[in-house]
Amino acid sequence: MVKYYAYFFSENRNGICESWKECEKIVSGKQARFRSFKTREAAEQWLKTGAVYEIRVKKELEPGIYFDAGTGRGNGVEISVTNEKGGNLLHKVMPRKKVNRFGKHLLDSDKTNNYGELLACKYALQFALKNQIKKIFGDSKLVIDYWSQGLVRKKFVSAETIKLVTAVAKLRKKFEAARGVIGRISGDDNPADLGFH
């Protein structure tokens, strides 16, 4: 499947690449916003609207909690937890001082995107359990199919990640015991999306 990779530095300096390798050369180590798209038209539309992550093509989504992690703003890994309309929810499950002006949480520089996805899943589970919401969606196969179920190859991850895997797996069991369901959604449709997937 062909993907398009849009990058944005400013109104006068932006573009679209047809491979991640090409886009990565342009944005690596720089303060740029970037995101992948299934169509060139969607990439062009994103650039025309100022490359704002929170603006997306409207699609009718199931009510529920959506989570994601990404590096799209170029400052490191951020996490996002929203409702189906893109409304931020992190400030309802973590201290407000840890939530940035975009309604997201920026992780320490040593954290990976996969760790961020798992942490976002943890906060989505906490919010859903507290508010008796029965559906959670994310776009990470690794987190949904493995890590959030306690399945991790311990020799390949840090002790901190293993500890988080254990905590999230316990939350997921509690959520599923209350008839909650975690499903996957395309990164292109995820209202919590943070840019690159």
Contact 125, 171 (CB under 8 A): yes
List pLDDT tens digits, range 147-172. Answer: 999 999 999 999 999 999 999 999 99
Length of the chain: 197
User: 68 a known binding residue?
Assistant: yes
Is the pLDDT reported for residue 56 higher than 70?
A: no
Q: What is the pLDDT of residue 58?
A: 56
Q: What is the pLDDT of residue 195?
A: 66
User: 188 a known binding residue?
Assistant: no
The Cα 64–Cα 134 span in angstroms is 7
Domains and CATH numbers, the chain: 4-49 (no CATH), 65-189 (3.30.420.10)
Q: What is the pLDDT of residue 150?
A: 97
User: 117 a known binding residue?
Assistant: yes
The Cα 94–Cα 162 span in angstroms is 21
Q: What is the pLDDT of residue 49?
A: 85
Is the pLDDT reported for residue 196 higher than 60?
A: no
pTM, 2 dp: 0.75
Rounded average pLDDT over 113-123: 97
**Exposure string over 147-166, b if 16+ CB within 10 A, otherwise e:** bbbeebeeeebeeebeebbe
Mean pLDDT of the chain: 91
**Exposure string over 109-132, b if 16+ CB within 10 A, otherwise e:** eebebbbbbbbbbbbbbbbbeeee
